[in-house]
Structure 1
Amino acid sequence: MSGEVAQARPPTWLTDLAGRVPTIPGERFSRFLPPPEGGRRQSAVLVLFGPGVHDPTDPEATTVVITERAHTMRAHAGQPAFPGGGVEPGDQDAAGTALREAHEEVGLDPASVDVLAELPTLHIPVSSYDVTPVLAWWRRAEPQALWAKDPREVARVLQPEVATLTDPQQRFWVRHPSGFLGPAWEVDGLLVWGFTAGVLDRVLDLAGLGVPWPDAPTRDLAL
């Protein structure tokens, strides 16, 4: 199967969420919002959903793209991330930044992506970065269309199914030595936690896909 897929439209829950984004207060996404003076650098990440890897025509098999950062990086080595990075002078907006970075990092063809909405800009205190998550839909079927194009930044690309991420049996909490407690998943041997897991958790919950997981265990984060 080549480029475009039969089920090219995003699932209804995704388009409905995108339409409601302007009415959702930033506090619903995170308690870490940019300070009045802004962070020391602006950046954007691509929260990219796409058709199922094994059955692109099944809307229940929708996936999301997550990367494992290169283990040689000086900061956040080996940790989960969305494709993205810092704003550069030629970028027109947050979507432009996210798409450019995704092309550089994982070989994503920007022409195969429908940008749906820019989520509220969030602040990462530890790095003082202001990050704008860009919600998007990817119309490509082939999993091999994405790869670790820049091995200096990306170790591998993962595409977990949304159905797995909303399964209460797959959910747990991680506790950072600082006391931070946040949602997490284990995806193909990668611990998905921190900023990436927090954004995913909020997006899925606000899209109406969240399922209660009161009995989820807590794991201490080993750094």
Structure 2
Amino acid sequence: MTSTFDLRTKLSQALRTGHATDLDHALSDERDFIKDLDSLRSAAVLIAITDRPDDPGVILVQRPDHMRNHPGQVAFPGGKIDPDDKDAIHAALREAEEEVQLDPAKVDIIGPTDRYHSGSGYNIQPILGVIPPDLPLIPCPEEVDDWFEAPLEFVLNPKNQNAHIGEWRGERREYYQINWQNRRIWGITAGILVNLSKRLDWLS
């Protein structure tokens, strides 16, 4: 049986080993479509991994259709880094608590992984952490329609990460998509998962 310590140690070691390897050329990003990287707004998301024996999952949220940015899309809990936030970790935990009432005290932070520069104007810092399974998460209706847990092994498996080509703002764009059950995980969220899978290659 996998304990929180075991899962945390495994994730931490894999992340540290992965970041010791130069993967920048292979990572998913949208910076090629951004004219001024310095103009991007800072944001943070929480990659919350559930400590399930032999089958950890990742918490994802479904955005409402009425939202101005990324309506209806699947995302990680997260958002803009506010002036009052100490750092990206604090922002990711704050947003997760606001969006699904995830108690920050329940999150065992492992650390940051690769930033994602989005064409929608954000410099996103993903924060990896481990949480107990089956927490009573409650979505904030203004920001979250629903939340779900997808198997980590499935979303990080390159066989399930499908590359697509589309058009956005008149430009040809490549993006990733992961289909799990009736959920379409694509764009920024899928890109972050693709990057994480390259860092945590022990799961692929």
**Range class of TM-score, shorter chain:** 0.7 to 0.9
**2:166 matched residue in structure 1:** 176
Mapped partners of 1:122, 1:39: distance in 2: 14
Give 1:131's aligned residue: 124
List gaps (5 residues or longer) in structure 1: 53-57, 212-223
Where 1:117 maps in the other structure, the secondary structure is: strand
Q: CA RMSD in A?
A: 2.6
Mapped to 1, the partners of 2:8 and 2:97 lie a distance apart of 24
- Equivalent in 138, 150, 175 of residue 147 of structure 1: 138
Aligned residue number for residue 90 of structure 1: 84
The within-5 A match list for 1:1-223 is 7-9=3-5, 10=7, 12-20=9-17, 23-25=20-22, 27=24, 28-32=26-30, 38-52=38-52, 58=53, 60-125=54-119, 127-138=120-131, 140-143=132-135, 145-148=136-139, 150-166=140-156, 170-177=160-167, 178-209=171-202, 211=204
Report if the CA contact (8 A) 1:44-1:94 is conserved: yes
| Aligned equivalents of 2:35, 2:122: Cα separation in 1 | 10
Paired with 1:207 and 1:168, the residues of 2 have a C-alpha distance of 12
What secondary structure sits across from 2:145 in the alignment? strand
Q: 1:31 to 1:89 in 2, by over 3 A?
A: closer
Alignment CA distance shift 1:210-1:42 (3 Å): same
Length, aligned pairs only = 197
* Runs of 4+ more than 6 Å apart: none
SS at match of 1:154: coil
TM-score, normalization: structure 1?
A: 0.77
Query: Quick check: 64-73 or 29-38, which moved more?
Result: 29-38
Contact 2:157 2:197 in 1 (8 A): no
Whole-Å Cα distance in 2 between the matches of residues 93 and 171 of structure 1?
Answer: 31
Per the normalisation by structure 2, the TM-score is: 0.83
Identity across matched positions, percent: 27
Give the AA of the match of 1:63.
Answer: G
Report the CA distance shift for 1:134/1:31 in structure 2 as closer, same or farther (over 3 A).
Answer: same
Structure 2 residue identity aligned to 1:23: A
CA separation of 1:108 and 1:84: change in aligned 2, threshold 3 A: same
> Would you tell me which structure has more helix in proportion to its own residues?
2
